[in-house]
Chain A
Amino acid sequence: MQVNEFKPLIVAFCCNWCSYAGADLAGNNRLNYPADVKIIRVPCSCRVNPMFILRAFQRGADGVILCGCHPGDCHYTSGNYYTRRRMAALFSMLDFLGIEKERTRVEWVSAAEGAKFAATMNDFVEKVTALGPNKRLEDLRCKR
């Protein structure tokens, strides 16, 4: 029997000003990371509603990562500070419900950190792959 290699589905929310540009820079420098990562552009990390993250899990994402400007560097001055509180609360709650904590992550990536973007994605994909498919938060009707 052939063993199917598990390819996780990763949704990455990136803020337009820093992290999306950082992802572009990773591209400009041809820094590889797995194609499992799909990026959604948002104006600021603070635009990301916890509902988006839960929706991604519901529809079968195996991991969700949120990238924004470094604290203090937000294009909108304070957006990522709110993100930091919201996500701290949400992630702690998901953990409280028994969801694997490695499936969610917040990472600050500046427009100059193409290498960090690629490294972060490589690491995140590796960790989520090790966990296997997301069973605990998946809507079984929407199976891929």
Chain B
Amino acid sequence: MQRVGVFVCWCGSNIAGTVDVQAVSEALKNEPGVVFSTNYQYMCSQAGQNMIIDAVKEHNLTGIVVCSCSPRMHEATFRKTAAAAGLNPYMVEIANIREQCSWVHKDMMTGTEKAIILGKAAVAKVNLNTPLTPGESPVTKRALVIGGGIAGIQTALDIADAGFEVDIVEKKPTIGGKMAQLDKTFPTLDCAACILTPKMVDVAQNEKIRIFSYSEVTDVKGFVGNFDVTIKKNARFVKEDICTGCGACVEKCPMKKVPNEFNLGMDNRSAIYIPFAQAVPKVATIDPNACNMLKNGKCGLCAKVCAAGAIDYTQKDEYIEEKYGAIVVATGFNPISMEKFDEFAYNQSKDVITSLEFERLTNAAGPTAGKLLRPSDHEHPHTIVFVQCVGSRCDSCAEKGKEYCSKICCMYTAKHAMLTRDKYPDTEVYVFYIDVRTPGKNFDEFYRRAVEEYGVKYVKGMVGKVTPEGKKLKVQASDLIANKQLHIDADLVVLAAAIEPDQTARPLATMLTASMDTNDFFTEAHPKLRPVESPTAGVFLSGACQGPKDIPETVSQAGAAASKVIGLLAKDKLTGNPCVASSNELMCNGCSSCERVCPYGAITYVDKEFRMPDRTTKVRRVASVNPAVCQGCGCCTVACPSGAMDLRGFANNQIMAEVDAICK
């Protein structure tokens, strides 16, 4: 039997105005287990807390009931008080007689009556409380970053800076991501390569960072602080540690007609390739679908010219298992397919391009060496039409596009338009917009400059139709301000395609038990207060995998994710919430019902040997809860038919006791 002390708070007149606190403390004296009961003006004050501490010592109390304000207010306070008195902090129960009693009832008699019942329920519960100790688990002091774009790079650099080891897994042969493909960046117009490639070099040279390029995560097990991850290193048929990246093989490779994905198929590369000059790691990769040697054993030229002897046609996919304490998802985005937008004739004309293709066309390292030439005939375009919101802000019923605003298009279109007018003042540039959204530092100034200083023609309205006619593209559009329909003969049409999260992230989300929204963006733990954490402990989000973002925003989120990771890895041990589920193995059937409803994957099954009454043993499958992963929702306790699963702090018998006390 517990020795319970009851402390009724007046909260000045907040409680005492509607509840006869004296009567409450008197009435609760007679409850089972109660050996001491009193009331005081402000229980949460230092004097009130001291009163509790003294009473614990004087009356050898083992449990405390405080009848006061909401536990959401002061439960933590009184738990600390209990700890100071030498009690387990979880031997405290709060009866909420302010928010849920004195403040909502006017009559002294009903208020007092209800306060007594709430007090009785708390006493009944505390009688069944057991001391709880939060579980501890060690932390593997290494982080995994999935995705090697600017988000992943920045996160990895920041974590490494704090002294922790980081591995980057990137599915492409090089890190760099989308930013490596960009020409200039808004609103400052620095060249993307100039600011990104030094960071890529930093990553390569940082002793704390390992890069798994051309690799993917295939399995994730474990929990916060203790993830076991399997990484598949795809065979690139080149020994990474030996290859010097000299490029001799690339030059000699006879198979030169492979569409170059880095330039979005606007030119070709060889079967053995280095994606771009500043690739990290700067190592060649053989495309197994294009290489003659790998397909039919006829060639082998690259092996002959490789002075380092790095070519290995027999290389196999390799699986690596590693342990991590934290995982950062930085899987990024892709522009959506333009295939379904027939009205813009993307499939019919080479001169209708996406904005990302436009980036490559204007990039000095791109297929035209930075000269703005039409893809169809390599002539200089004189009239360019930019179309914004292509596939963004579509209603959900329109299956072609996305419901959300892609956020970055307004600014990069302004950039493209401005740069075009700057380099080629003879070009006429139209931008068709629905709204121009420029909420960022120096963003609106930038857009206004495009209009005012560079003479870009912004037209409020949308393009309805693009028709290729001879060498021209007939653009039919509306100008809503002038209230007329425009017909423009354009040489080039640039579509600001909506962006979507990388589709390969879907299976990853399942592996990580991290949730995704209807658009396949990763869900943050709280949209305002925990924007870089996923709901799964130990999994963090960086960059556009969480929602559309420009570079400055991505970098700041990457830093925020890194700081959360550092905060986690800096701990030697993690202490959990002690109010977690646990299974009574003797009663567990091993039926898997609990495992199926657990949102955190905290329940696994183990085969356990039981001694039977007749001294034989029997092996049974029983549930085992990982207290470091369990968040204590209690869903499993109801799914369990035998009642083997129970929740500490909110146990079946405790809630039943509360029900009984209230209904008595």
Residues in A lying within 8 Å of B, measured CB to CB? 9, 11, 16, 20-21, 23-28, 30-33, 35, 38-44, 46-52, 55-56, 59-61, 75-79, 82, 86, 118, 142, 144
Contact = CB atoms under 8 A, between A and B. Distances in A.
Nearest to B105: A35
B633 A43 contact: yes
Contacts of B103: 27-28, 30
Interface string B108-148: 00110110011001000000000000000000000000000
18 contacts: A23-B99, A23-B100, A24-B100, A31-B104, A35-B105, A35-B107, A35-B114, A40-B662, A42-B634, A44-B633, A46-B635, A47-B634, A52-B655, A59-B660, A61-B659, A76-B599, A79-B599, A79-B634
Contacts of B655: 40, 42, 47, 49, 52
**DSSP class of A's interface residues: helix, strand, loop or mixed?**
mixed
Q: Which bucket holds chain B's interface residue count?
A: 35 or more
B98 A47 contact: no
Contacts of A32: 104-106
B464 to A, nearest CB: 37
Contacts of B110: 35
B62 interface: no
A25 B624 CA distance: 38
A86 B640 CA distance: 13
A104 B111 CA distance: 25
Contacts of B101: 27, 35
A106 B100 CA distance: 19
The residue among A9, A27, A78 with the most chain B CB atoms within 10 A of its own CB is A27
Given A24-B72, A24-B100, A43-B633, A77 B105 contact: no
B70 interface: yes
Nearest to B94: A41
Q: Which 7 A-B pairs have the closest CB atoms?
A: A27-B99, A47-B634, A59-B663, A76-B633, A27-B103, A46-B635, A24-B99
B663 A39 contact: no
A17 to B, nearest CB: 9
A143 B105 CA distance: 26
Contacts of B647: 43, 47
A16 B639 CA distance: 20
B515 interface: yes
Given A76-B631, A77-B515, A38 B599 contact: no
B443 interface: no
A106 B103 CA distance: 24
B638 interface: yes
Interface string B63-84: 0000000111000000000000
Given A46-B634, A47-B633, A49-B637, A60 B663 contact: yes
B634 A43 contact: yes
A47 B635 CA distance: 5
A17 B117 CA distance: 23
Nearest to A60: B663
The residue among A35, A55, A144 with the most chain B CB atoms within 10 A of its own CB is A35
